[in-house]
Each structure stands twice: as C-alpha cells, then as structure tokens.
A = this chain, B = another copy of it.
Amino acid sequence: MVNAGAMSGSGNLMDFLDEPFPDVGTYEDFHTIDWLREKSRDTDRHRKITSKSKESLWEFIKSLLDAWSGWVVMLLIGLLAGTLAGVIDLAVDWMTDLKEGVCLSAFWYSHEQCCWTSNETTFEDRDKCPLWQKWSELLVNRSEGASAYILNYLMYILWALLFAFLAVSLVRVFAPYACGSGIPEIKTILSGFIIRGYLGKWTLLIKTVTLVLVVSSGLSLGKEGPLVHVACCCGNFFSSLFSKYSKNEGKRREVLSAAAAAGVSVAFGAPIGGVLFSLEEVSYYFPLKTLWRSFFAALVAAFTLRSINPFGNSRLVLFYVEYHTPWYMAELFPFILLGVFGGLWGTLFIRCNIAWCRRRKTTRLGKYPVLEVIVVTAITAIIAYPNPYTRQSTSELISELFNDCGALESSQLCDYINDPNMTRPVDDIPDRPAGVGVYTAMWQLALALIFKIVVTIFTFGMKIPSGLFIPSMAVGAMAGRMVGIGVEQLAYHHHDWIIFRNWCRPGADCVTPGLYAMVGAAACLGGVTRMTVSLVVIMFELTGGLEYIVPLMAAAVTSKWVADAFGKEGIYEAHIHLNGYPFLDVKDEFTHRTLATDVMRPRRGEPPLSVLTQDSMTVEDVETLIKETDYNGFPVVVSRDSERLIGFAQRRELILAIKNARQRQEGIVSNSIMYFTEEPPELPANSPHPLKLRRILNLSPFTVTDHTPMETVVDIFRKLGLRQCLVTRSGRLLGIITKKDVLRHMAQMANQDPESIMFN
C-alpha cells in the first residue's frame, strides 16, 4: 500500500513514478484488491479535488460534477438496466410464441400482441384469433389432427434447437464469460477479486442476446439471475466513463453493488427487495451511502421497465396476485410442510447439480459444451411439448399457479363443479368440489414437477446464460398448488372435521390454492439460494400486502433450517467453491482455535521469509529475489539479524522503480545499494550511487502478533479487506498471512482439500 500521507509528504525525487506508468496501482487479472488502499487512494483524490475547487470557478464546477457523478451513474444504470429488461421481456415473448406459430399481420408480433389487434379479446378466444397461425395451419393448412400435432411438435423442437445452438455458439465464440447465472462470480468480484472482461461490453451484449435465445428455447432456466449480471455489466460500463470509479476498484464495486440491486429490481419488479438482495446475498462492502444510491438505481430501473410496459398490464411486478381470502392458523401446518419440501429440494438440487458440474469439469463431458446443450434442449423439448404445463413458458406457468380461480377463469386448474343453487358475485367464489379438469391438471402437474426437478439439475451450469430463480419457483409453485388443491378438497369433503369446522363451512371461502403455490415457490427459492429477508420482501412486494407475510416467512424459515441441516452452502457459495474462487464469506463463522502462528508462512521446515533489508541490499540482489520468487510484495526489515519490521514493498512497484531508475537516474548500476530509510546509508567512498526507494515503501503494513487467534485474523481480513498481513512477535517479523492462506486454512479446518479451493 502506498502510504497516502508519506507519498505527498516526502520529496519529489520519485514524482515521475506517478505519471508515466498509469498502471501503477492497478491490479493484475485474478488478483485480490486491497480495500484499505483503494479507500485511501479515493480519500486522496477527494482531498485533491476539494483543495483545488477553491482555486477557480471551473475547478469548483468540476468538483461539483465529481460529487454528482455517483448519482448520474446510478441514473444511467437504472435507465439502461430497465430498458434491457424490457427489451428482453418483449423479445422472449415473441420468440417463445414463434415456436408455436406466427402472426400474419406482422411476424414480429407475439401471440398476445397479434390478437390484441383482432376483435376477440377475452381469454377464452385467445386461441381462436384468426391472425395467429400455428405452423401446421401455415404450412399444411391443418389445425387439427395427428399430422398437425406432429408437425407443430417438430417445429417446436426445431426452433428450440435452433435457439439453443445459436446461444451456445455465440457464447463460445464471443464471450465465454456470458454463461451461467453470473451471481457466484459477481459475489467474488464484489468481495475484491479481479476477473477481467467478466463485466465487459462484449459480455453485456452477448449475454443479453443469448439470454433471449435460451429462455425462448424452452430450457428449464430463468432470466432473473443473468439479469443481475447484465445490470452489473451496465454498471461496469458506466463506471468506466467516470474516472472516480474507473480508476478505483473499491469505488467501482460500490457501483456494482447498486447495479445488482437494479438487476433484481427489474427481474421481479421489486426495488426494495432488490436492494436487500444486493445487501444480503451479493455485496461485500456496502456502506450506507451505497444503500441509498442502490435504492435510487433500483427505482429508476423499475420505472423505466414500467414505462416500456412489456407485460402490457401497467404492472411493475412479474407475478401480480390478489387474494381475497384470509389464511387460518391451521394452514400453517401445510405451509411448514412446504417449507420442509423446499429445504429438501434445495439440498437435493445443490448436491446433484454440484456433482454433475464437477463431472463436467473433470471428465470428457466438458469438452463438448455445444453437444451437451443440444442434447439437453432436445430432451427438454421432446418431453415438454406434450404436457401443457411444461410447454408454456415457465413464468406463465408460475403466473397461472399463483392465480386464484375467479369465475371467468378458463384454466383447467379452475375446473370446479358449480353449485347451481348458489348465486354469488363473480369474485367471491366458495370452495367447490373439483371437476375432471382439476384431476387431469393434478397428474399433469405431478409429471411436470418430476420433469422440472430432473431437468433443472442438468441445465444449470451449462455453457449458456441460465438462472435458477424461475425453475426453483416453478418447482415450489407446482408442489404448492397440488398441496393447496389437496387441502382445499379435504376441507370441502370433510368440513365436519374438527380442524376445518370453524373456518370451512360449506359455501364459505376457505382455502386459496394459489397462496399455497406462492408459499411453495418462496420455500423452494429459499432452499436453493438461502435468501431470507430479501426473499420475504420480494414476495411481499409481489403480493403488496402484509396479510400473507406470516405464511411466507414460516415457509422461508423452515426451508432455510431444513436445508442448512444438510449443508450450510447455498447454490452460489457451492459454485464459488466448485470454481475455487478466493471468496471470504462474511456469513461463515470461523470458530476454530488456531492461532496466526499456525497459518503464517514460512511454515516449520520451509525456507525463511523473503525480505528486503532497509539499507544493505544491492539492486542486483533485489532483482534476483524478484526473479526467483513470485510473491506480490516483500516485507522490509532493519537488518537480517534484528528482523524488526519497517514496512512493505509491492512487487509491481519495486520492478517499476528499478526499471525507471536504471533508465533515468544516473549512476544506478547493479551494485548500487537500495535504501528505504530517509537518509542514505554511509557507504565506502568508491561505491556506486545508492537508490532511494522510500517512496514505494508502505510504512503502515498491517501486523498481528503470532498469538492472535485466527478468528480475529479472519475478522480483520473480512472487515478491512486486506490482501496480506504480517505476523510479528515482540516486534520481530516472523511471517506473512495472505488472503489465500486464510482461505486455505479455513478449508482445511472444514475438512476440505485446501488445494482444491484455489482458483483453477
């Protein structure tokens, strides 16, 4: 760390270091940033601007612009993220329908848009709108019969394969980082890791396009996770326009945290939920200032999306629901059961998915990503088409499952037998016996549930953009709706049972199966991601009322507890581990009794620590040391005997300073003594000119004593965002602990292979 105070305070001998090498202070790819250093660099920059702003009006205006740039970036992120989300929604709508047929009036209309223009506007007539032609009608002019069915089936599979092939090829050729949900990597980046290009413009473009393709292809994946990645790419793009953010990796991460909030905000239409998601799930360093700005970005994004109005209903939220019936205490039991199901599903999914992804990484399977995608798409399409609940898009399915049955509902799920003796207003429908349609729907849903569970495990992790919010919610919603219908029919047919007697009189409102679907969705999402507050708040924003928060919360808590009992890691942490990213989780508690001395290097038996002395090594000595080791920096001590620590020198800066001095400073040769002290050491008369390197010396390296418990050390690494920390005993340097040493030690303590967890 270049000490900010020392840098400005000491002489100007090395001032040339600042300008000609603009990359001093930036980091290499796959390296960890030093949060303290970034912060102090920003404070320095801020001080400079403040003091300059008093000099002239222009500088004052510049300082104002600088102060406002944070808000401008947020505004831009919100606008772009909202627009992209809207465009993606519209495109997905159109392309999903393209698998079934085409609009004659304009081929770029989706089924719904096509039929808006026609006169039949009610839901029931939707399929009869003449301008919309199924492929069989268009190609062989037949809409009924086995041959038409097979033709439509084939077209469905062909389109799905085409979309999937296009997507995986685009990802492979142009932007390999565009695959997956992106959230594990974003978590790692936000915790202070550098992955160049992960949030680049190409990734943004390709991810947006391929996201549309894969969602339309009917694969069992969602667009919500990738939308967070897309929003972060927007954030990265806009922060590169302002030097305040582009030149400071710490400040840039503040913008990215806010962008993640905007991403979730547009994915669900839940701005507060988005901010809490960013706070709870994604972010690492989240100061209050960022909270406020994230909220702003999330709101702008949500409003931009609403102005685009992709769902055509002026609603902000993806699944808008309104229930009319209250819930009863006894219903908590099935809700908690759904929570247990969600927890089990989460565990099953994480275990199987990780096992499959590991197999993909380690066996020949990983060499054929295109083939894998094609095969999975083909299987998905072949199995999905015959079942109406898997043929429609997953968001439509969830929407249908969440909905309460109104009187005008034409869905199979609402095929109840009406009691002809009762006359009631249309919106207020009592429990009724289920008709044939409901029973058909039940076994179709059961088949769809099994299919979804299996296929999602194989889909998540392929080399295409894929989110798992929507498939998880679908699994939960299907299970929930089935449980809901079960409870409803039980209550209807046995309304004389004690538990039903008080609240389920015949003819009265009783059970809302849609609410069960929503509770199930929350439970399954919670089991997979281990979200808590943000999950409940997102669901709260979907339902828009406090009424149903208790069922949701009961299910979310149960699901988290059940899932945690089988393993603490959520899917994102599991993927971080699988990929070996150096992510120091804030949530893990480190409770072992080890001390700093057990973790520091050199270990017993290893060669001693490579150190620099303050005034006795020659340029050549140092160059040899640099050549022979690959450490990121070297501690500087008074002498090899006393080993009293005076500072820390970064490898990069050392190399640059020596190169510079050799080129520009006269008299610097291999034999020149390098010194880090204020005054040059006393040298024999004929010795070459010495090289002063105090400017690059970090005079305030972070130290702990060898007796410091590792839990404290872990805490310090987490909270201060250190890269490394020196270990001393009574003032003598003993060793060094880097962030990777900490991670390795934590893995070791958790009985994991420490080498498997490093980035590979």
Is B288 in contact with A587, judged by CB distance below 8 angstroms? Answer: yes
Is A593 in contact with B47, judged by CB distance below 8 angstroms? Answer: yes
A429 at the B interface (CB under 8 A): no
CB within 8 Å of B: which A287-325 residues: 287-289, 291-292, 295-296, 299, 302-303, 316
Q: Kindly report how many copies of this chain are found in the complex they form together.
A: 2
Is A712 in contact with B700, judged by CB distance below 8 angstroms? Answer: yes
Q: Number of A residues whose C-beta is below 8 Å from B?
A: 73
Please tell me which stretch of A470-478, A546-554, A741-749 contacts chain B, meaning at least 4 of its Cβ atoms lie within 8 angstroms of it: A546-554
Report the separation of the CA atoms of residues A730 and B716 in the bound assembly, to the nearest whole angstrom: 21
Please tell me which stretch of A360-368, A399-407, A529-537, A654-662 contacts chain B, meaning at least 4 of its Cβ atoms lie within 8 angstroms of it: A529-537
With A40-B711, A40-B712, A719-B720 given, name 10 new contacts (CB 8 A): A36-B712, A280-B291, A289-B587, A292-B532, A302-B546, A647-B705, A699-B705, A700-B707, A701-B705, A720-B720
Is A591 in contact with B700, judged by CB distance below 8 angstroms? Answer: no
Please tell me which stretch of A1-9, A155-163, A482-490, A496-504 contacts chain B, meaning at least 4 of its Cβ atoms lie within 8 angstroms of it: A1-9
Is B4 in contact with A593, judged by CB distance below 8 angstroms? Answer: yes
CB within 8 Å of B: which A584-616 residues: 586-587, 589, 591, 593-596
Q: Which residues of B contact A289 (CB under 8 A)?
A: 587
A555 at the B interface (CB under 8 A): no
A271 at the B interface (CB under 8 A): yes
22 contacts between A and B (CB under 8 A): A3-B708, A4-B593, A5-B707, A43-B589, A272-B272, A287-B586, A288-B586, A288-B587, A291-B533, A295-B532, A295-B536, A296-B553, A296-B557, A544-B544, A596-B700, A638-B730, A699-B707, A700-B709, A700-B712, A701-B705, A703-B703, A730-B731
Report the separation of the CA atoms of residues A593 and B537 in the bound assembly, to the nearest whole angstrom: 42
Q: Which residues of B contact A279 (CB under 8 A)?
A: 291
A80 at the B interface (CB under 8 A): no
User: Shortest CB–CB separation between residue A546 and chain B, in angstroms?
Assistant: 6
Is A5 in contact with B595, judged by CB distance below 8 angstroms? Answer: yes
A545 at the B interface (CB under 8 A): yes
Is A709 in contact with B646, judged by CB distance below 8 angstroms? Answer: no
User: DSSP class of A's interface residues: helix, strand, loop or mixed?
Assistant: helix
Report the separation of the CA atoms of residues A544 and B545 in the bound assembly, to the nearest whole angstrom: 8
Q: Which residues of B contact A596 (CB under 8 A)?
A: 700
Interface string of A513-556 (1 = CB under 8 A from B): 00000000000000000001100110010001110011001000
Interface string of A6-38 (1 = CB under 8 A from B): 101000000000000000000000000000100
Q: Which residues of B contact A709 (CB under 8 A)?
A: 3-5, 40, 700
CB within 8 Å of B: which A702-730 residues: 703-705, 707-709, 711-712, 715-716, 719-720, 728-730
Query: Which residue of B has the minimal Cβ distance to A702?
Result: B704
Is A533 in contact with B292, judged by CB distance below 8 angstroms? Answer: yes
Taking a contact as CB atoms closer than 8 A, the residue among B272, B701, B716 that contacts A537 in the complex is: B272
Is A716 in contact with B720, judged by CB distance below 8 angstroms? Answer: yes
A211 at the B interface (CB under 8 A): no
Query: Which residue of B has the minimal Cβ distance to A300?
Result: B550
Is A715 in contact with B705, judged by CB distance below 8 angstroms? Answer: no
A732 at the B interface (CB under 8 A): yes
User: Shortest CB–CB separation between residue A325 and chain B, in angstroms?
Assistant: 15
A645 at the B interface (CB under 8 A): yes
Known: A40-B712, A47-B591, A593-B47. A707 touches B6 (CB 8 A): yes
A505 at the B interface (CB under 8 A): no
A644 at the B interface (CB under 8 A): yes
Taking a contact as CB atoms closer than 8 A, the residue among B271, B288, B728 that contacts A280 in the complex is: B288
Known: A272-B272, A295-B533, A730-B644. A700 touches B711 (CB 8 A): no
A259 at the B interface (CB under 8 A): no
Q: Which residues of B contact A689 (CB under 8 A)?
A: none
Is A5 in contact with B288, judged by CB distance below 8 angstroms? Answer: no
A351 at the B interface (CB under 8 A): no
Q: Which residues of B contact A296 (CB under 8 A)?
A: 553, 557
A126 at the B interface (CB under 8 A): no
Query: Which residue of B has the minimal Cβ distance to A273?
Result: B272
Taking a contact as CB atoms closer than 8 A, the residue among B43, B549, B550, B705 that contacts A591 in the complex is: B43
User: Shortest CB–CB separation between residue A751 and chain B, in angstroms?
Assistant: 15
Known: A40-B709, A593-B5, A593-B8. A546 touches B731 (CB 8 A): no
Report the separation of the CA atoms of residues A6 and B5 in the bound assembly, to the nearest whole angstrom: 36
Is A46 in contact with B591, judged by CB distance below 8 angstroms? Answer: yes
A85 at the B interface (CB under 8 A): no
CB within 8 Å of B: which A244-284 residues: 271-272, 275, 279-280
Q: Which residues of B contact A546 (CB under 8 A)?
A: 271, 302, 316
Is B645 in contact with A550, judged by CB distance below 8 angstroms? Answer: no
List the 6 shortest-distance A-B pairs measured between CB atoms, nearest first: A731-B731, A699-B707, A700-B708, A644-B731, A719-B719, A644-B730
Q: Which residues of B contact A715 (CB under 8 A)?
A: 36, 39, 720
Report the separation of the CA atoms of residues A533 and B316 in the bound assembly, to the nearest whole angstrom: 20
Interface string of A558-600 (1 = CB under 8 A from B): 0000000000000000000000000000110101011110000
